[in-house]
């Protein structure tokens, strides 16, 4: 089964990118991960979308196709101003349009890392109405909130926190169980 991984940070050396890489290493057997990059997406503009155009921008097609090929989605993101980073929200907006939206009804797991003490909890809460609108199947538990992220990775980018690794593994196991159940 395939999952598409989205990183909400575009920054080199991003803690959330390192967290996504840590999750990839902890993937349970039977799951594979493909990155769905948001880095080159234009700002959402309905003039560039159906039905006002017959062809969406190429980077949008690649992003949507990567999501469409996946059975589930893993989003790993920072919190910006107590909410979802604009680039990530823009990406979700591009993927959300049309009855063939590759996010519609899809299982999703969300994780986040922040140097702060609350580890993206407000970003994760801000995502709930978005997931609700798209009727996504949210793997709520366990919550993966990596606080003080500046202390949690070694110089090679490896996650050091064993409790965090356990939570990530359990979340991915729950996502896998959900995907297996959907196949029945």
Ligand X SMILES: Cc1cc2nc3c(=O)[nH]c(=O)nc-3n(C[C@H](O)[C@H](O)[C@H](O)COP(=O)(O)O)c2cc1C
Query: Which positions touch ligand X (CB under 6 A)?
Result: 9, 11, 14-16, 78-82, 114-116
Cβ 9 to ligand X, closest distance in Å? Answer: 3
Cβ 53 to ligand X, closest distance in Å? Answer: 31
CB contact at 8 A, 92 and 103: yes
Q: Which is nearer to ligand X, 144 or 179 (CB)?
A: 144
Closest of 49, 169, 171 to residue 107, by C-alpha = 171
CA distance 85 to 89: 6
End-to-end CA distance of the chain: 13
Tokens 């921008």 appear where? 57
Cβ 38 to ligand X, closest distance in Å? Answer: 13
CA distance 142 to 124: 12
Q: Which is nearer to ligand X, 114 or 124 (CB)?
A: 114
Q: Which is nearer to ligand X, 2 or 11 (CB)?
A: 11
CA distance 176 to 160: 24
Cis peptide before 84 (omega within 30 of 0): no
Cβ 184 to ligand X, closest distance in Å? Answer: 36
Determine how β-strand 137-138 pairs with β-strand 72-76. unpaired
Q: Which is nearer to ligand X, 50 or 82 (CB)?
A: 82
Q: Which is nearer to ligand X, 72 or 119 (CB)?
A: 119
Cβ 60 to ligand X, closest distance in Å? Answer: 23
CB contact at 8 A, 75 and 85: no
């Amino acid at each position: 089964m395939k999952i598409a991984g989205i990183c909400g940070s575009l920054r080199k050396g991003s803690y959330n990118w390192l967290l996504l890489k840590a999750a990839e290493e902890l993937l349970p057997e039977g799951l594979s991960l493909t990155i769905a990059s948001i880095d080159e997406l234009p700002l959402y503009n309905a003039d560039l979308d159906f039905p006002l155009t017959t062809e969406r921008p190429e980077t949008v097609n690649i992003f949507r196709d990567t999501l469409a090929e996946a059975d589930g989605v893993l989003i790993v993101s920072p919190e910006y101003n107590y909410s979802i980073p604009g680039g990530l929200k823009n990406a979700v907006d591009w993927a959300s349009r049309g009855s063939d939206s590759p996010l519609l009804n899809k299982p999703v797991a969300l994780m986040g890392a922040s140097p702060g003490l609350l580890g993206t909890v407000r970003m994760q809460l801000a995502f709930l109405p978005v997931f609700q609108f798209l009727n996504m199947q949210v793997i709520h538990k366990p919550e993966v909130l990596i606080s003080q992220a500046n202390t949690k990775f070694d110089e090679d980018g490896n996650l050091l926190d064993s409790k965090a690794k356990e939570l990530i593994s359990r979340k991915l196991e729950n996502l896998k169980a959900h995907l297996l159940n959907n196949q029945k």
